[in-house]
Amino acid sequence: MQAKIPATVVTGFLGAGKTTLIRHMLSNAQGRRIALIINEFGDLGVDGEILKGCGDATCREEDVVELSNGCICCTVAEDFIPTLEKLLARPDKPDHIVIETSGLALPQPLVRAFGWPEIRTRLTVDGVVTVVDGAAVSEGRFAHDEAALDAQRAADGTLDHETPLSELFEDQLACADMIVINKTDLMDAAGAETVATRLSESARPGVRVVRTSMGALPVEVLLGLKIGAEDDLEARHEIHHHHHDEGADDDDHDHDHAHDHGHDEFESFVLDLPEIADPRAFATRLAAMIRTHDVLRLKGFAAVTGKPMRLAIQAVGPRVDTYFDRAFTAGEARATRLVVIGETGLDRAAIAAALA
């Protein structure tokens, strides 16, 4: 019998740094052949672009599979399993499979999929790595603050659930075998310590909590955890999975998991804009718009008048990063396209107007 191919699930909220961490991993893969499955919320394929563009021999384009047909945790049977099957059918099988979930995905349904009979003999979940935006947690952006929550509950007796953001965050943490506190460069030492302590305390026993910036962890830290997560799913509770019947037949893998998890609570849309004149001024306007409209995440590429290079734009909350990533290719439209993600109810017209 052949050894099972290990798969690592990388999860974490929108903008936590999953793509950055994976990119670092690929550039330091030390000869490992890593296949990537990427699932992104919002259909611009920005993460795929970034990962394919890393120009490293270890991340060949054919090793990157993008699943943009919605959120993979809800399309396990239609998308996720067939993709795994295809990777396994290749003559040159990968040494390791890395799955980047969308920032809104619940990792549990994916881990559960590895228990399916057609998969479990050939693959195993090496581990679930949950990337956390340490700075955002510090700033309380997930309201992952028990004291605040308790106060809220006290003020409103009917409040029996958390915010959509904090629920997702909890589910992603509950599934973790390793918690990566990323963006420590944006935090002071005491702040990082506080977040690390808090997350360690709420993590399952034995879960390692590591700190880093730009996801720059050695590959050996991330891969090779050898957890076999598909065999201890029960320990990884899901807040969203309310109707899950304890003791029910877990092989019933076609049952609907909470289909409302985030899909009604969050939305995304694509903004097409003309070339921009001044990247600095544009970033400032973006930040202002993001604050006004509570945009959670924004990313895409822009054409800048007079510049042959394409400008990558990444915003997580009001923090906007821009950099020229590559030249526009011949025949490629010099377009500016941004995907905007927020909680449902974004005022699309006003957002477009603010950037026009």
Ligand X SMILES: Nc1nc2c(ncn2[C@@H]2O[C@H](COP(=O)(O)OP(=O)(O)OP(=O)(O)O)[C@@H](O)[C@H]2O)c(=O)[nH]1
- Chain residues binding ligand X by CB under 6 A are 12, 14-20, 40, 47, 103, 182-183, 185-186, 213-215, 297, 314, 316, 321
Q: 319 - beta bridge partners? A: 316
Chain-centre distance of CA 88, in angstroms? 24
What one-letter code names the amino acid at 276?
A: I
Nearest Cα to 268, choosing from 34, 132, 126, 103? 103
User: Whole-number minimum distance, CB 249 to ligand X, in Å?
Assistant: 33
CA distance 19 to 7: 16
Strands 34-39 and 96-100: parallel
CA distance 171 to 103: 12
User: Whole-number minimum distance, CB 307 to ligand X, in Å?
Assistant: 19
CA distance 91 to 33: 13
Closest to ligand X by CB, 181 vs 207, is: 181
Closest to ligand X by CB, 149 vs 214, is: 214
Residue 19 to residues 22, 35, 39, 179, 326, Cα–Cα distance (Å): 5, 14, 11, 15, 18
User: Whole-number minimum distance, CB 99 to ligand X, in Å?
Assistant: 13
Closest to ligand X by CB, 88 vs 186, is: 186
First-to-last alpha carbon distance for the chain, in angstroms, is 60
User: Whole-number minimum distance, CB 160 to ligand X, in Å?
Assistant: 28
Closest to ligand X by CB, 14 vs 303, is: 14
User: Whole-number minimum distance, CB 139 to ligand X, in Å?
Assistant: 13
CA distance 188 to 165: 24
User: Whole-number minimum distance, CB 312 to ligand X, in Å?
Assistant: 8
Closest to ligand X by CB, 16 vs 26, is: 16
Closest to ligand X by CB, 110 vs 123, is: 110
Beta-strand runs (E) in 108-192: 123-133, 178-182
Q: 326 - beta bridge partners? A: 310
User: Whole-number minimum distance, CB 213 to ligand X, in Å?
Assistant: 4
Count of CB atoms situated within 10 Å of the CB of 343: 15
Closest to ligand X by CB, 253 vs 337, is: 337
